[in-house]
A and B are shown apart, each in its own frame.
Chain A
Amino acid sequence: MAKRIDISGLSAYYSSFRAIEDISMAIEPRSVTAFIGPSGCGKSTFLRTLNRMHEVTPGGRVEGKVMLGDENLYGAGVDPVAVRREVGMVFQRPNPFPTMSVYDNVAAGLRLNGSHKKSELDGIVEKSLKGANLWNEVKDRLNKPGSGLSGGQQQRLCIARAIAVEPNVLLMDEPCSALDPISTLAIEDLIGELKERFTIVIVTHNMQQAARVSDRTAFFNLSAVGQPGKLIEIDDTERIFSNPSVQATEDYISGRFG
């Protein structure tokens, strides 16, 4: 299932403003890659280029190449909708569909993409909720509205919804920043389990979190406000946090940034 992502010479723009510049990196399958860096350095923008969500923003466009396995996501004739089925995404704020029940939320990706048999859906919903460690908490209220769950449960519901469509890659944009430490721990444990099956990319502002969950860490920075963000370095998480090769990384990690 999991696929390798190779990015080369990628720049992303909002209209004429260049948000990230010339990023090249490889993201290994069945591993967790964390993006860290100061606010506004383009981590989220870069993440959104990986499933073509960047171009949903008015004026958003991308230059460069993103290879998922052996296919270029930005190649001619590539359907962004098909890309997003391969590369799922979890957002910063939990965003379950307010009109749908817990069950319908998880089934949404499949149902909205075509008809599925009820028995088949039941199985997928249960499997996804179990995969998101949420099954035991919601199995008795699958038909209640998804927005009635707690924030941490909602976020795991969103993860269940994302993995229900069986993507190859799971992108997470600060998935724990709106959650309390216990829910955060639940999600971090979950990330550890999910990396057996998916390629996971996570943006986080929490350095400890990056150190705990990720195998590799990429540090982004920008030289000044209004300048495009750049990839400073990417390495094994252990090395980044113990002995980074760039001084700026060490400054940022040890809190001497700026």
Chain B
Amino acid sequence: MSQSVNVKRPGDLQGATLPKWTPWAIAAGSIALGVGISAAAGLDSSVQWGLMAAIFFVLGSYGVAARVEGRRQAKDRVATSLVWVAFLLAVVPLVSLMWETVERGVKVLDGYFLSHSMGLVTDTEPGGGIYHAILGTLEQVGIATVISVPIGILTAVYLVEYGRGRLAQAVTFFVDVMTGIPSIVAGLFVLSFWILILDMGPSGFAGSMALTILMLPVVVRSTEEMLKLVPNELREASLALGVPKWRTIMKVVLPTSLGGITTGVMLSIARITGETAPVLLLVWGSSFINTDPFDGPQASLPMYIYLQYANSGGSGAAYDRAWAAALTLIAFVMILNLAARGVARWKAPKTGR
């Protein structure tokens, strides 16, 4: 019966399907079409032919699938190709940024660059390095982490395990508000409080305080979400054994969510490592190695990048140093993220037999 009605359908459940390579063929065709039209019309921007190719790809997928497979499958293919196009649109700038940074950054990035400061090098000369900036970043971010991680985790524990009523609502509200504070505002706050009112000089610690303000809400939020994921049954199991609540939290709830909390903390560190504005206001920057975060100006990687760019006076050497520092910063954040994933996998609740 089915054969007489529709030759494409040998059985009721079996429909015509496009071969696996169809999407690739459509993609290749639409890119060729996009490039061809651009060449014919004399457009020289790769963005233009890229967008054209994307539109051809989505329309082409629909057209081909609608003709061969039917409307439902065609809609499915359009959704799939839209997801792919969106993915590529998101990935292209990322890859191009990485490519650009690596290409320009590796020129001066070597052991000498990582182990020397800018002490005796003026901004326009070649040579020098980022040792002082790495040191400053590590110390400022380290202090900010040491302050905000305990406070953040304890706040989250309060909100999830104990907080009821007005106080908890207020804390949640202010954490949300803090999440939205622009980094320059955090910097100005510490500037007016620490440097202008208390009359302290610029220091790495002042920068750490501003970074703490930025990091704290992220730690609280991510820890809170992780603690909420711990099943209530585990808490009850522990309480029913006659274990006090604080011990239940310490020995059952926190270990169960440790992987997720670690990931959250690492991500928040990654977020503040790239902050420039508060560091610029509070740490001031320095060409010399300053190991004491509590006294005197320090450097930091993002600020180094900015200063090398801004004060270079058109010198190629300074540009190269800025790119190399940017590459170092990206690598640093990437290593932190990989470490976070490693810890999360290592500490995740085990399911093996």
Contact = CB atoms under 8 A, between A and B. Distances in A.
Physical interaction between A and B: yes
Interface of A: 51, 53, 56, 58, 81-86, 88-89, 91, 93, 95-99, 108-109, 112-113, 141, 144-145, 147-148, 158, 161-162, 165
B351 A148 contact: yes
Interface in B227-258: 231, 233-244, 247-248, 251-252, 255-256, 258
Interface SS of chain B:
helix
B352 A112 contact: no
Contacts, number: 90
B241 A84 contact: yes
B231 A95 contact: yes
Query: Which 5 residue pairs are nearest across A and B when measured between Cβ atoms?
Result: A85-B242, A98-B349, A109-B241, A89-B240, A145-B350
A148 B258 CA distance: 20
B353 interface: yes
Contact of B233 (A85, A95, A108, A113): A95
26 contacts: A53-B239, A56-B236, A56-B239, A58-B164, A81-B242, A85-B241, A88-B240, A91-B236, A95-B233, A95-B234, A96-B237, A99-B350, A108-B251, A112-B243, A112-B252, A113-B247, A144-B352, A145-B350, A145-B351, A145-B352, A147-B349, A147-B350, A147-B351, A148-B351, A148-B352, A161-B237
A112 B241 CA distance: 9
A82 B243 CA distance: 9
Contacts of A85: 241-242
Contacts of B251: 108, 112
A97 B237 contact: yes
Given A112-B251, A145-B350, A147-B350, A98 B256 contact: yes
Given A84-B242, A108-B238, 13 more contacts: A53-B240, A56-B236, A81-B243, A85-B242, A95-B231, A97-B238, A99-B350, A109-B241, A109-B243, A112-B241, A112-B252, A145-B352, A161-B237
A84 B351 contact: no
B144 to A, nearest CB: 29
Contacts of B231: 95
A88 B350 contact: no
A98 B235 CA distance: 12
B236 A53 contact: yes
B350 A84 contact: no
B238 A51 contact: no
A152 B236 CA distance: 20
Contact of A108 (B241, B244, B258, B352): B241
Nearest to B244: A81
Interface residues of B, number: 26
A158 B236 contact: no
A204 to B, nearest CB: 18
A172 to B, nearest CB: 11
Nearest to B243: A112
A117 B258 CA distance: 27
B40 to A, nearest CB: 62
Given A91-B237, A93-B233, A112-B243, A99 B352 contact: no
A10 to B, nearest CB: 19
A54 to B, nearest CB: 11
A81 B248 CA distance: 11
Contacts of B237: 91, 95-97, 158, 161
Given A56-B236, A58-B164, A112-B238, A98 B243 contact: no
Interface in B251-278: 251-252, 255-256, 258
A141 B351 CA distance: 13
Nearest to B347: A99
Interface in B182-212: none
Best-surrounded residue of B236, B237, B258 (most CB of chain A within 10 A): B237
Contacts of A97: 234, 237-238, 252, 256
Best-surrounded residue of B240, B243, B244, B350 (most CB of chain A within 10 A): B240
Contacts of B244: 81
B319 to A, nearest CB: 50
A165 B242 contact: yes
B242 A113 contact: yes
Contacts of B239: 53, 56, 84
A148 B350 CA distance: 8
B344 to A, nearest CB: 13
